[in-house]
Every structure is written in structure tokens, then in C-alpha cells.
Amino acid sequence: MVTLSALVYRGELIESKHIAVCLVKDISNKVILSTDSEDHLVYPRSAIKIFQALPFIASNAHNMFDLSEEIISISCSSHSGELQHINILKKWLNKIDINLDQLKCGIHNPLDEKSSNNLLLSGTMPSQLHNNCAGKHLGMISGCLANKMDIDNYLDFDHPYQKLIQNSLENFMESKIQNKCIGTDGCSAPQYAFPFENIATSMVNLIKEKEKKNSYSNAINIILSAITKFPLLIGGQNRFDSEIIKTTKGRIFCKGGAEGVLLFADFAKKIGGAIKIVDGNNRAIPTIAMKMFIKFKLLSKNELKELNHWTIQKLSNHAKKNIGKIIAELM
């Protein structure tokens, strides 16, 4: 058992400390690193969007509506609301011929500060497409249309399309959803908590499924191929998960979620894992994840050089003056 934390320095002193729970497994499902958190129930939040997107691809909606690989990538996204994201989402909306109001994800300003400021300066109000989960919702609606299911109540827990997502999650997690573990995500979609060990298991099963030859694995490979080709669409500029996928050319898949969650799978080394920051602060995720990637030698020398700014995260104030750093500690 190990302890893992992110230390936040101001000057030479530790000002804050973010405790992380982490579980890493090899391809045989053997635990190779643990912070003794296997039984904790955790909502994986947006980190599981690849599994939520599976029924969308399995429905053949991407072929039915002639949807591009860019659209498939953004179906798994927590996008930053950059112009590239909004333009692709607009194309998708037109392809399936629905109205904005039919997306039930809600509205918020772009996550990317520059994009948010540009939107404000243009005098334009944000729409549902600026919600970071818009791609997930368009995937759900597209899947419903392809399956001839009602889209008015597509977010209901007992909607037949949500049942498909539940089956996808249960298959990869190897765990049944308990009634007490049903919640509602920030975008109003159903969200489910699972034992932390099973969340890590889902990444091992992702690696295994990628290598199989069946319709399920075909859908996984379609999604992974799209994400590898368009990694900036699942997050955006200066987003940790996008940079990892881009730098490793898809060899490492990782996806973050709200409240300090990150899932990762290395398809070459065949190990996968889950990270959760106990206090939910996402700023601790990159340096903690890099600590794991370095420990298990997942990155080449050149990749590590390109991603090194995430290993020790520099902190600056509004005057752009360097005032501290965040580093990970493994004991």
C-alpha cells in the first residue's frame, strides 16, 4: 500500500495538500499499485464517456447520419468550448436535424477562458453547444434516433437508451449498478458510482476489448481511432488528457472527469488504472497522473520532455508572476 498526494507550494512552503487514491492493474487484473481504496464508491463522472458513447456507435448512427471521425471523437468529450468544438457540434446538430432546445444538458460559458471572453465580447450568449457535455448528449440523441427511440425523455433513468449505457458500464466495470449508487451528473445525465477497484478494472477491460474481434470491440476501435486522430476534440488546448493522447499518438488513453477523476490505459504496456483526488480538486490530477506514468515507465524520453510541464506545474498569479508549484509525492 502506498500514499499519494499533490503538494502545493507557495514559495518554499507547502500551502496545501491534495490526497489522491489510486489503483493500477496489469492485464491479468492483478493490482500493481494501490492506496488501499478498492472498496470506496466513486462517481467516475466524465471519465467514463467512452463507455457512454459505445451504444451510439453500436447503433450505427455514425453511418446512418454520415458522421465524421471528428464528431465521433467529440462524442466522448468534455470540450473547452473553443471555436473548433462549436463548429463541429453545429455540423452534428444539422446532420441529425434537431433543435438546440432538444439537448437537455443545460448551458454554461466555455471552459476555455479565451473562448469565453471572445464569446462575451461578440455579444453572443452561450448555448447548449458550449456545455462541455454537448457531444455526449448529441451522441445519446443520435443513438436514440438510429434505434427509433423517443428523444423527448432520453435522460430518464429507465429510458431504453440509458439501459444500453448502463449495460455498457456494467460490462466494463464487471459490477452491477446498485440503487444507492444512482445519481445525476452536472449535465443532467444519469451518473453511477462503482467500487474504485471496478473502475480501474474498466481500463483493463478496455485494453482487452480493443484486441478482440467482435462488434463490441469494433465499436471501441472506431472510437479510439477517432480520439487518436483528433485528441484536441475530447478536451482542448492545454488540457491534460488531450495532450497525453496527442503526444503518445493514442498509445495511452486517458480521460478526466469532474471532482478530480482520471482513468488511463496504456495499450502497449497493458496496464490501466484510476485516480481520484479525495477533495475533488482537478488541479492535482496532472502531476499525480504523471507520477504514475513515470513510475511505470509509460513515457519515452521524448514524450516525457514534451509533457514535463505537467510533472511540476508552475503556479502564477494574475500578473503572470511565478509564485509556486504543484508536485506529486509517492510514499
- The pLDDT value recorded for residue 227 is 98
Task: Yes or no: say if 23 and 38 are a contact pair by the CB < 8 Å rule.
Answer: yes
Phi then psi dihedrals of residue 20, to 5 deg = -120, 145
Work out the average pLDDT over 168-189: 97
Instruction: Give the whole-angstrom CA distance, residue 196 versus residue 307.
Output: 27
Work out the average pLDDT over 173-196: 97
- The pLDDT value recorded for residue 107 is 98
Contacts of 140 (CB under 8 A, 6+ apart): 52, 56, 154, 155, 161, 165, 189
Confidence of residue 55 (pLDDT cuts 50, 70, 90): very high
Q: What SS3 class is residue 41?
A: strand
CB atoms within 10 A of CB 184: 11
Mean pLDDT is lowest, of 88-92, 188-192, 215-219, 297-301, for 215-219
Work out the average pLDDT over 49-75: 98
pLDDT at 229 over 80: yes
Instruction: Give the whole-angstrom CA distance, residue 47 versus residue 266.
Output: 15
Query: What torsion, rounded to 10 degrees, do the Cα atoms 41, 47, 51, 56 define?
Result: 130
pLDDT at 37 over 90: no
- The pLDDT value recorded for residue 127 is 98
pLDDT at 233 over 90: yes
Confidence of residue 207 (pLDDT cuts 50, 70, 90): very high
Query: What torsion, rounded to 10 degrees, do the Cα atoms 117, 226, 222, 199 define?
Result: -60
**pLDDT tens, residue by residue, 64-95:** 999 999 999 999 999 999 999 999 999 999 99
Work out the average pLDDT over 285-300: 98
Q: Give Dmax over CA atoms of the chain in angstroms.
A: 61
Query: Model's pTM, two decimal places?
Result: 0.96
> HSE on the CB side for 257, CA within 13 Å?
25
- The pLDDT value recorded for residue 36 is 81
Assigned C-alpha cell, 187: 449535465
Q: Can you give the CATH number for the domain in which 162 is found?
A: 3.40.710
Nearest to 253 by CA among 242, 279, 98, 261: 242
- The pLDDT value recorded for residue 253 is 98
Please report, rounded to a whole number, the percentage of residues in the chain having pLDDT higher than 90: 97
> HSE on the CB side for 182, CA within 13 Å?
11
Assigned C-alpha cell, 112: 476555455
Bridging pattern class, strands 31-34 and 41-42:
unpaired
- The pLDDT value recorded for residue 318 is 95
End-to-end CA distance of the chain: 9
Phi-psi region at 312: left, alpha or beta (left = phi > 0; alpha = psi -120 to 50): beta
Phi-psi region at 185: left, alpha or beta (left = phi > 0; alpha = psi -120 to 50): beta
Confidence of residue 132 (pLDDT cuts 50, 70, 90): very high
Work out the average pLDDT over 262-274: 98
Instruction: Give the whole-angstrom CA distance, residue 25 versus residue 206.
Output: 12
pLDDT at 212 over 80: yes
Number of domains the chain is built from? 1
Write out the residue range of the structural domain in which residue 52 sits. Answer: 4-330
- The pLDDT value recorded for residue 38 is 72
pLDDT at 236 over 80: yes
- The pLDDT value recorded for residue 215 is 77
Work out the average pLDDT over 311-329: 97
- The pLDDT value recorded for residue 128 is 98
pLDDT at 302 over 80: yes
